[in-house]
C-alpha cells in the first residue's frame, strides 16, 4: 500500500518520538523497538510503501552520523595508557576472534566476509552497560572497553581492505585509502595547532551554551568533508564518517557537551530513521521457515563462541576466569556495526537478502542477551570479597558445630 509522503513523515516521526519512552518502560534498547517498528510498517506486515525517496536519504544520513558517533566513542587516551603487554593481550583477543570467526564461516559454508561480520561488536552497547553497572573504571571494565574499541576500529578497516581486494585484487588499489589517511593526518595536525594557539576560540566548539552551535556545525562539516574524501577515493563513506568522529575524539578530551549536542541531533531523529528503515527492509518470511531458524540458531551459537572463548586470554593478565567469561558475554553484544556490515555485504553480493535478515535477527538477540547476562553475572570486587568472607564464615561455623557435636 502506497501512502502519501506527508502521512509517511508523520507516522515515522511519531514512532521515533515515542519508542524511546516505551523502551524504558519495557527495559529494552530503543534501537530494538525502532527495528521492530520498521518490521511492523515494512514489507513483513503492513507493507507500507512511501511515495518518495526521502526516507532512504535521511536513513543514509542517519547511518553516517551513527558511524561518526562510533568514531567519537573511541577513547584514544585510554589506548595510549595501555601497557605494551596488556595491549598485546587485547590484540591477541581480537586476532583469536577473527580466526575463530573465519573458521565458523567455513563451517557454515559461507565466505570469509562472514568472518569479518562475526568479529564485530557494539561499542555503543558496551559503554552504557559498563556505566550502568559502575564497572567502567574497574580493570574488568577497562579491558572490556579496549577490547570493544579494537573490535570496532580494526573490523571496520578490515572490511574496507577486504572490499578493495574483492574489487581489484592485491595491487596498487590498496593505496587508494592513502589520500583519506593523509587528509586525516593533515587535518589532525591543523586542528591540534588551532586548539593549542587559540584555546578560547576552539573552546567555543565545546561550550555548553552557544546560540550559533559552532561545535555542531564544525562536526557536521568535518563529517561531510571526510565522506567526500572517501567518495573521491572510491571507498565506502562509512570509513570517512568513522575517521571524522575519531579525529574529534583525539583532539578534544573534554567533549562531553559536544557529544550530548550531537546525540540530540543524531540519535534524536536521524539515527532512529536508519534503524526504522532497516526494519522496513526486513522480511520475516526469510527467517521463519524451520531451515532458516536452524541456521540462525547455529549462527547465534558461533557468534557467542567466537567472543567468549578468546576472552579467556584475559586470564593471562590476572583477570579471574569468571570475569574473563563475563567480558566475553558482554562482547557478544552486536548491533549497529554488524547491521552496517550486513548492509555493505548485501550491496556487494557477499550475502543474500535472507542471510542479511538472519544477521539482523542475530543483532536483535545479542543486543538483548549480552548486556543482560553481563549485568546478571557481574559482581564488584567488594561484593566478591564479601561473598568470599561469608562463605569462609559459614565453613568455620559448620566446622565449629561439628566439633561441638
CA 330 – CA 326 distance, rounded (Å) = 6
Strand partners, 49: 2
Q: What angle do CA 327, 241, 16 make, to 5 degrees?
A: 75
Residue 381 has pLDDT above 80, yes or no: no
CA 280 – CA 349 distance, rounded (Å) = 20
Decide: 65 and 241 in contact? Cβ < 8 Å: yes
Residue with cell 570469509: 112
Mean pLDDT calculated for residue range 23-37 = 80
Decide: 68 and 219 in contact? Cβ < 8 Å: yes
As to burial, measured by CB atoms within 10 angstroms (0-12 exposed, 13-18 middle, 19+ buried), residue 124 is buried
- Residue 203: its pLDDT value, please? 67
Q: What is the pLDDT of residues 288-347, one digit of tens each?
A: 888 888 988 999 999 999 999 999 999 988 888 998 999 999 999 887 788 888 988 998
**Which residues fall within 8 angstroms of residue 352, CB to CB, at 6 or more apart?**
346
Q: Which residue has the higher pLDDT, 37 or 86?
A: 37
**Other CB atoms within 10 A of residue 215 CB:** 23
Give SS3 for 50: strand
- Residue 384: its pLDDT value, please? 46
Q: What is the pLDDT of residues 172-198, one digit of tens each?
A: 777 888 888 888 889 888 888 877 777
Give SS3 for 49: strand
Q: What is the pLDDT of residues 189-230, one digit of tens each?
A: 888 887 777 777 666 666 666 667 777 888 888 899 999 988
**Other CB atoms within 10 A of residue 368 CB:** 17
pTM above 0.85, yes or no: no
H/E stretch holding 312 reads none
CA 287 – CA 362 distance, rounded (Å) = 11
Range among 15-29, 49-63, 101-115 rated most confident: 101-115
Residue with cell 565545546: 206
As a residue count, the chain comes to 405
Q: Which long-range contacts (CB under 8 A, 24 or more apart) does 156-165 make?
A: 156/238, 156/239, 156/242, 156/337, 157/239, 158/98, 158/116, 158/119, 159/116, 159/236, 159/341, 159/344, 160/235, 160/236, 160/239, 162/112, 162/113, 162/116, 163/236, 163/344, 163/348, 164/235
Decide: 118 and 357 in contact? Cβ < 8 Å: no
- Residue 170: its pLDDT value, please? 78
Amino acid at each position: 500500500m502506497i501512502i502519501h509522503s506527508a502521512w509517511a513523515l508523520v507516522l515515522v516521526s511519531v514512532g521515533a518520538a515515542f519508542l524511546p519512552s516505551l523502551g524504558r518502560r519495557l527495559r529494552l534498547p530503543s534501537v530494538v523497538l525502532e527495528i521492530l517498528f520498521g518490521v511492523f510498517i515494512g514489507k513483513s506486515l503492513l507493507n507500507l510503501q512511501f511515495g518518495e525517496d526521502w526516507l532512504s536519504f535521511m536513513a543514509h544520513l542517519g547511518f553516517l552520523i551513527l558511524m561518526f558517533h562510533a568514531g567519537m566513542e573511541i577513547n584514544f587516551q585510554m589506548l595510549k595508557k595501555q601497557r605494551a603487554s596488556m595491549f598485546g593481550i587485547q590484540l591477541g583477543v581480537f586476532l583469536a576472534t577473527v580466526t575463530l570467526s573465519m573458521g565458523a564461516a567455513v563451517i557454515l559454508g559461507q565466505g570469509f566476509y562472514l568472518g569479518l561480520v562475526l568479529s564485530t561488536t557494539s561499542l555503543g552497547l558496551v559503554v552504557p552497560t559498563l556505566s550502568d553497572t559502575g564497572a567502567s573504571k574497574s580493570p574488568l571494565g577497562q579491558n572490556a572497553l579496549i577490547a570493544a574499541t579494537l573490535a570496532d576500529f580494526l573490523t571496520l578497516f578490515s572490511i574496507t581492505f577486504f572490499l578493495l581486494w574483492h574489487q581489484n585484487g592485491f595491487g596498487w588499489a590498496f593505496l587508494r585509502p592513502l589520500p583519506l589517511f593523509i587528509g586525516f593526518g593533515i587535518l589532525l595536525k591543523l586542528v591540534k595547532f588551532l586548539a593549542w594557539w587559540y584555546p578560547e576560540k576552539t573552546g567555543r566548539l565545546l561550550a555548553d551554551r552557544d546560540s550559533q552551535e559552532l561545535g555542531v556545525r564544525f562536526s557536521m562539516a568535518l563529517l561531510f568533508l571526510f565522506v567526500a574524501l572517501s567518495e573521491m577515493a572510491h571507498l565506502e563513506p562509512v570509513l570517512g564518517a568513522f575517521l571524522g568522529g575519531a579525529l574529534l575524539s583525539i583532539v578534544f578530551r573534554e567533549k562531553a557537551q559536544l557529544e550530548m549536542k550531537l546525540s540530540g541531533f543524531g540519535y534524536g531523529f536521524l539515527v532512529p530513521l536508519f534503524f526504522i528503515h532497516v526494519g522496513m527492509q526486513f522480511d520475516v518470511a526469510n527467517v521463519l521457515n524451520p531451515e532458516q531458524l536452524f541456521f540462525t540458531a547455529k549462527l547465534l551459537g558461533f557468534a557467542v563462541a567466537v567472543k567468549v572463548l578468546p576472552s579467556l586470554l584475559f586470564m593471562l593478565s590476572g583477570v579471574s576466569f569468571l570475569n574473563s567469561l563475563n567480558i566475553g558475554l558482554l562482547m557478544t553484544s552486536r548491533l549497529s556495526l554488524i547491521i552496517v556490515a550486513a548492509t555493505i555485504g548485501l550491496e556487494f553480493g557477499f550475502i543474500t537478502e535472507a542471510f542479511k535478515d538472519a544477521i539482523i535477527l542475530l543483532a536483535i538477540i545479542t543486543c538483548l542477551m549480552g548486556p543482560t547476562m553481563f549485568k546478571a553475572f557481574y559482581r564488584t570486587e567488594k561484593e566478591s570479597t564479601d561473598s568470599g568472607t561469608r562463605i569462609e564464615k559459614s565453613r568455620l561455623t559448620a566446622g565449629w558445630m561439628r566439633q561441638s557435636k
